[in-house]
Amino acid sequence: MNMKKQGLLIVVSGPSGTGKGTVCDELLKAHPEIAYSISATTRSPREGEKDGENYYFLKKEQFEQMINRGELLEWANVYGNYYGTPLKKIQEKLSDGQDILLEIDTQGAMNVQKKFPEGLYIFLLPPSLKTLEERIRGRGSETDESLKRRLGNAVNEIEVGKNYNYVVVNDTVDAAVKRIAMVIDAEHRRVVRNMDLFEKLENEKKLNYGA
């Protein structure tokens, strides 16, 4: 039996402001063989963001339609806006043998984990809460109130990280990208994902060296 190997579902998650977006962008630049799952959202585009590239920017009614039609693998309300992961592309890429990366919040990641326990769940941590605060402030898109809310939530969200498979500290972007790439590489080498290699040698043994 020669079944095509499934791609790997890679979930990178962590508290808002940890640097998921930045790190995932660099990871994808260094590893163009990994597909990216573009989320749908009802939040407005930030400067420089493009529809169909960073997100699918939808109206609330359009998003609710996707929920009702069962087109989302998961969805969550994050800071007053809907965010969700379209299912179709993920199924296509995985059955095509391609890895696909999801950069989603912790609620979403835990919901995906229930449906895809065989996925790779990586939690990105800030080096410290002080650094997290500086990063959120530096991004400059928060009011004081929303900054406080994000920081308060971050502390609780960090606890959720204990349910993931791997933890990576985002001290420098370069180092975090390299660590994630190593984790992905290691995951590909798990015995359960490589039974075909054993099978191939067993077949060769049967053919050329007798049973």
18, interface contact from ligand 5GP, ligand ADP, none, CB < 5-8 Å by kind: ligand ADP
Q: Could you tell me the smallest distance in angstroms from the CB atom of residue 131 to ligand ADP?
A: 8
> Is position 108 an interface residue for ligand 5GP (rule: CB under 6 A)?
yes
Question: Which parts of this chain interact with ligand ADP (CB under 6 A)?
Answer: 16-22, 135, 138-139, 170, 172-173
One-character DSSP codes across the chain: --PPPPPPEEEEE-STTSSHHHHHHHHHHH-TTSEE-PEEESSPPPTT--BTTTEEE--HHHHHHHHHTT-EEEEEEETTEEEEEEHHHHHHHHHTT--EEEE--HHHHHHHHHH-TTSEEEEEE-S-HHHHHHHHHHH----HHHHHHHHHHHHHHHHHGGGSSEEEE-SSHHHHHHHHHHHHHHHHT-GGG-HHHHHHHHHHHHHHH--
Q: Could you tell me the smallest distance in angstroms from the CB atom of residue 206 to ligand 5GP?
A: 47
> Is position 105 an interface residue for ligand 5GP (rule: CB under 6 A)?
yes
Q: Could you tell me the smallest distance in angstroms from the CB atom of residue 130 to ligand ADP?
A: 13
Q: Give me the residues that bind ligand 5GP (CB under 6 A), please.
A: 16, 20, 39, 43, 74, 76, 78, 83-85, 103-105, 107-108
